[in-house]
Structure 1
Amino acid sequence: MSDLTRTQRSLHAQTSHRLARLHQLGLADRPDEEFDRFAHVLARDSGVPGALAMVNAISDRQFFTGVHLPSADELGSVAEAEALAAAVGRVMPMEHGYCPETMDRTKPLTLPDVCMKPDFAGNEVVDLVGIRLYMGVRLVDKEQGLPLMTICIVGRERRPMEDGRRMLDYIKERGAQAQYLLDQRITALP
């Protein structure tokens, strides 16, 4: 485990607790209609052309409890939509994408152009999915003080750096809405 990044070590140390809580909430390993709808609205209202949006339960892997992928019409081809769906699916390894990094942050992560940071540009999703833009924020189980999930929007076109503030405001607002949905589930537990 010595070659793991600090973020991976931190997430790894909490995996069993996080996985148990996600299972208790019914969010660890099956799609959720409410979070699928949330991801759809998250993408639709983001202002990002052809956006992908996820509600991501993070344990020893990333599981997209809620996901929105752009349609063939948005992408311009059925083949491209099918290829994207096959590449993304509902499960990704921890080393793909930026949500594991977001889990370790108290503030949102916004990257108008992931290629501007060498450590982010080398992530496998840049080539696998063509990601150039990322914005995400973590969701926390406030009762246990444990980060459980993220919401994120990814795009395949970079944005000008001056869009960074708008991206930050948008993901913070939507993060508060997703946190409310998670809080409701936690409160409803027996």
Structure 2
Amino acid sequence: MATIDATGRFLLAPVEAEEAGQIREMLQARHGLRAHPDPELDAFALDLARAAAALIGAGTPPFAMVNVIGAGQQQYFAGLHVPTSPSGQKPDVARTMARDLGFCVHTLDRGEALVLEDLTDIARYATNGVVAGTGMRTYLGAPLVDADTGVAYGTICVLDTQPRPWGRSGLELIRNWRDELSRQLSAHRVTER
């Protein structure tokens, strides 16, 4: 469960029992979601970014990710889309990030979609290192949930460096894309023997 620091301003990464992380990793394996680059998930992230850009009328698709959050201290972007800068360069973005940075760990903990239109307007999120370190200003994410157990085992998200008025349409968009990826992952699900 997520907690607030002593100042009341910083939303700390949720602390979880070791067993919970192990269960999530078992579900990730069952659904074929692994902590390595996956070209199909990269394509999914690009399509999600394009859909988000169309929704908000942005010319350049924002960042989009399919995130694997392990039992340890790391999260991994198995699917990743990084937008091209105005100069035509693609920034070099690592596929790993500390678990306590970013917002997907909170989405995973909540077990439901999270829409943050302007991160700097919400004190608990504005102090996250991703805001100051990378300039991210908006987040739209949803958990991937195992249908049999109800346990969240990964996330999808969209991030941008500009505040975005996602509204109800953004919430529907991220839920629909989450549902689509869940169907794709379930179709390739590894069955226990």
TM-score by length of 2: 0.81
Following TM superposition, where does structure 1 have runs of at least 4 consecutive aligned residues deviating by more than 6 angstroms?
2-6
Of residues 80, 92, 104, the one that matches 1:67 is: 80
RMSD: 2.5
Contact 2:32–2:185 at 8 Å: present in 1 too?
A: no
Contact 1:25–1:186 at 8 Å: present in 2 too?
A: yes
Unpaired stretches in structure 1, ≥5 consecutive residues: none
Deviation sequence 1:85-131 (CA, Å, 0-9, x none):
2xx31111111100000001232101110111101000011122211
CA apart distance, 1:24: 4.8
CA apart distance, 1:32: 1.3
Alignment match, 1:151? 156
Residue 104, structure 1, aligned to residue 117, structure 2 = no
* Secondary structure of the structure 2 residue equivalent to 1:45: helix
Unpaired stretches in structure 2, ≥5 consecutive residues: 6-10
Residue 16, structure 1, aligned to residue 47, structure 2 = no
Contact 2:30–2:189 at 8 Å: present in 1 too?
A: no
Contact 1:25–1:189 at 8 Å: present in 2 too?
A: no
Q: Percent identity?
A: 31
* Secondary structure of the structure 2 residue equivalent to 1:29: coil
Deviation sequence 1:25-74 (CA, Å, 0-9, x none):
44232111211110010011212544000000111221111000012xxx
CA apart distance, 1:185: 2.4
Report matched runs for 1:24-103 at 5 Å: 24-47=30-53, 48=58, 49-59=60-70, 60=72, 61-71=74-84, 75-78=85-88, 81-82=90-91, 85=92, 88-103=93-108
Amino acid at match of 2:67: N
Question: Hey, which of these two has a bigger chunk of helix by percent?
Answer: 1
Give, in whole Å, the separation in 2 of the partners of 1:64 and 1:46: 18
Give, in whole Å, the separation in 2 of the partners of 1:46 and 1:26: 25
Q: Work out which structure has the larger RCO, using CA pairs closer than 8 Å and 6 or more positions apart in sequence.
A: 2
Of residues 169, 173, 178, the one that matches 2:176 is: 173
